[in-house]
Amino acid sequence: MEILTQIIWLFVLAVPIACISWTVTHEEIFREPHEWCVKRSKFDRHILSRKFFYLFTCEYCFSHYITIFFILLTDYKLLLNDWRGYILAGFSLVFMANIYMSLFALLRQAIKKEKVEIEKIENETENDKK
């Protein structure tokens, strides 16, 4: 695969990895399993069990496993055409996916802040009218 094609794949393949990782670890649709995993990751007796359940509560940790799945699915390698290409691809995809998730988190935070400010202005306007 050409280097330009590999780079395009890197940026594109990181999108579904970020999407799945974020959805499972943050969104309302997975709230109950997430809370159950959080509880198990804090209070299970065995350290291996705690670490296993922690993987489903941390988007960074979870993105490693989603990346492995996508590398197996697509046979994506970066720069080198042997096993080292898989390793480079894996860490590069995790890195890019986490950049995407960080940008998404910042965007959501900015939107929430803006909504709160608009609501505050609307409340002040309503109070001034009374």
CA atoms within a 13 Å half-sphere pointing along the CA-CB vector of 124: 6
Q: pLDDT, tens digit, for every residue of 5-55? A: 999 999 999 999 999 999 999 998 999 999 999 999 999 999 999 999 998
Using alpha carbons only, what angle is made at residue 117 by residues 115 and 121, rounded to the nearest 5 degrees? 115
What DSSP element (H or E) covers 104? helix 83-129
Count of beta carbons in the 10 Å neighbourhood of residue 89? 24
pLDDT band with cut points at 50, 70 and 90 for residue 1: confident
d(C-alpha 111, C-alpha 26), whole Å: 16
Q: Quick one: pLDDT at residue 64?
A: 95
